[in-house]
Every structure is written in structure tokens, then in C-alpha cells.
Amino acid sequence: MNINQKVAAKIHEIRTQKNILQSAVAESLDISQNAYSMLENGTTRITIQKIFMLAEYFKVPVSKILDICEKTSYDLQINNQAIEQINPQSTDTNSQFYERIIDGLNKTIASQSETIDLLKGKNMISQ
């Protein structure tokens, strides 16, 4: 299960625990119920902005949606403070910072997928 699917499952879990309809959440995000359903079942990639909006709507910390334990959340706060000390001129908000991390990871995954496809094409790895 990839991170998008884990977040999607957590969103579904939180929504059902709170007995909230998909249509109500979709309306708060200003998207259709079908588009929200695709977020919740993991077929559409969820953005950091939507995660923050959902956390606000559900009145839960972002760490709960990301399913990050309290220790990890604390470590992230320490990391953020360290980053701010190293680069106090940074204009990135936390969401922009994490979005850049996710974009970097997605680029790495895409690059590795291309490498695998290339190796499969040269019969260097089994298909």
C-alpha cells in the first residue's frame, strides 16, 4: 500500500467514525462527491492542501490523517525548528515544504520506474 492509499484509508476511517457523508466533505472541499470518493479510495492523488483542509474539517491534527505517531510528529516539529534555524529566510510554509518533499519522492519513483521499464526491455530483469 502506497502513502496515497494509506492516507485515503485514514480519511475514510475518520469520516465513517464521525458519521459524515462523502457529499458533506466534498462540499467543504469544493469538489464533487465523485471527486471526493476518488480521493477516499486512493485513485486520485491527494495534495497537501487537501490534507490540511480535511484536518480542519474533521477537527483533527494533520498527523492523524497522515497516520503519524506522536513521536514522529514531535520529531517533525524538531526538524522544522532546525530547518528554520539553518535557513531563517525560507518563505516555505510547512505545507509547501512537505509538498516539495512529496514532489521529490514522486520524481524519484518515476525515475526508478523508467529504469525498471528500461531493464525489462533489455531483458535484464524478469517481467
The residue extents of the domains of the chain are 3-69, 85-127
Amino acid at 117: D
The answer to whether 44 and 35 are in contact (CB under 8 A) is yes
Select the highest-mean-pLDDT range: 31-40, 89-98, 111-120.
31-40
Residue of 47, 43, 39, 31 lying closest to 10 (CA atoms): 39
Would you place residue 91 in the very low, low, confident or very high pLDDT band (cuts 50, 70, 90)?
Answer: low
- Which letter does DSSP use for residue 89 in this model? T
pLDDT for the residue numbered 71: 47
CATH code of the domain occupying 3-69: 1.10.260.40
Q: Is the pLDDT of residue 75 over 70?
A: no
CA atoms 101, 107, 109, 112: torsion sign: negative
Kindly report the pTM of this predicted structure: 0.55
* Mean pLDDT, residues 84-100 taken together: 63
